[in-house]
């Protein structure tokens, strides 16, 4: 058992994962003078397998399973995840204790010469390992050559700078947390590129019996963000959840109500199924289910089967 004045955080070893975890650690140490936060780096399956597209690796939780094992074993107190990497099904003894205020949910296009998506040359090679991004790119620019790309933000940017790819897509939230936004990045509007469920949000995961960690983590929960991502993740879980689904969702809370939009896109870019709805914040999960039902009525499961 850890000392009462110490919390041990588990994180992947990537620059982004470490930056996100340290942000949370610093915030808690600021809020609770005398609290000491320590970091334990854990390598996950997704970090070890770099020669295969994410969608082709079997199983869910490629970036979290080993970290969740450390939580279950009591090796760490709190895990900080990118919420979009966290499966909708968790081990029974674990829970999301808090979802802090969300960062920018948009994707950005990175190219050497600050080129917007519509200005990329015909047939240009664009790197992405995300089915969601790939399908939406093909919807917007069916002429582009979409190629798999793996690696952290630095690696993907280097591959673009070297000419291997004309451009790549990156999550704005990660770039902000790494202080890497620059003039060669163009924000993609949500009308063109809806984000992944939970994109831009963090999840603080704890063991249900670790009351001390739960008490500290809950202080950082941002209720509007938590309601929004709950709706998004319910769409994902209802459709069979996982990275092999070309699903894009975005929800926001306005005036106490959740407004949810969702797309399921054929891997070739068409057809595109769309659903949206509104509900009070305390009915966010039900809204997610209704939105998923709407998509399934339009044939979403057929597209998902093709994608997988």
Residues marked as catalytic: 85
| Longest Cα separation, the chain | 60
Residues 26-49 as b or e (16 or more Cβ within 10 Å = b): eebeeeeeeeebeeeebebebbee
> How many Å apart are CA 95 and CA 213, to the nearest integer?
11
Distant-in-sequence, close-in-space partners of 164: CB < 8 Å, separation ≥ 6: 125, 127
Among residues 132, 146, 178, the alpha carbon closest in space to that of 18 is found at: 178
Distant-in-sequence, close-in-space partners of 53: CB < 8 Å, separation ≥ 6: 129, 148, 150
At CA 143, angle to CA 137 and CA 144, rounded to 5? 55
Contact between residue 70 and residue 41 where contact means Cβ atoms under 8 Å apart: no
> How many Å apart are CA 60 and CA 144, to the nearest integer?
29
Give the single-character DSSP code of 4: T
Contact between residue 126 and residue 169 where contact means Cβ atoms under 8 Å apart: yes
Contact between residue 257 and residue 251 where contact means Cβ atoms under 8 Å apart: no
List, in sequence order, every residue forming a beta bridge with 107; answer none if it has no partner: 171
Give Rg (Cα) of the chain. 19
């Amino acid at each position: 058992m850890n000392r009462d004045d110490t919390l041990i955080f588990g994180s992947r070893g990537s620059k982004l994962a470490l930056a996100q975890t340290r942000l949370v650690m610093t915030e808690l140490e600021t809020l609770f003078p005398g609290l000491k936060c320590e970091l334990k780096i854990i390598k996950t399956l997704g970090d070890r397998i770099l020669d295969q597209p994410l969608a082709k690796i079997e199983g869910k939780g490629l970036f979290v399973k080993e970290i969740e094992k450390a939580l279950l074993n009591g090796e760490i107190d709190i895990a900080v995840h990118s919420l979009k990497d966290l499966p909708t099904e968790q081990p029974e003894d674990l829970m999301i204790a808090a979802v802090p205020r969300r960062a920018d949910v948009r994707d950005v296009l990175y190219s050497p010469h600050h080129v917007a998506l519509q200005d990329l040359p015909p047939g240009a090679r664009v790197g992405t390992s995300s089915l969601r991004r790939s399908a939406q790119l093909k919807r917007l620019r069916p002429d582009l050559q979409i190629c798999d790309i793996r690696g952290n933000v630095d690696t993907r940017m280097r591959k673009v700078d070297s000419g291997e790819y004309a451009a790549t897509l990156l999550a704005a939230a990660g770039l902000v947390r790494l202080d890497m936004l620059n003039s060669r990045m163009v924000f993609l509007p949500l009308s063109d590129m809806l984000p992944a469920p939970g994109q831009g949000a963090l999840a603080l995961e704890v063991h249900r019996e670790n009351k001390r960690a739960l008490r500290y983590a809950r202080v950082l929960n941002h209720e509007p963000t938590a309601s929004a991502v709950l709706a998004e993740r319910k769409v994902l879980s209802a459709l069979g959840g996982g990275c092999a689904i070309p699903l894009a969702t975005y929800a926001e809370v306005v005036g106490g109500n959740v407004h949810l939009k969702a797309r399921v896109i054929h891997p070739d870019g068409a057809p595109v199924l769309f659903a949206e709805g509104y509900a009070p914040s305390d009915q966010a999960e039900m809204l997610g289910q209704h939105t998923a039902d709407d998509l399934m009525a339009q044939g979403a499961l057929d597209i998902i089967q093709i994608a997988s």
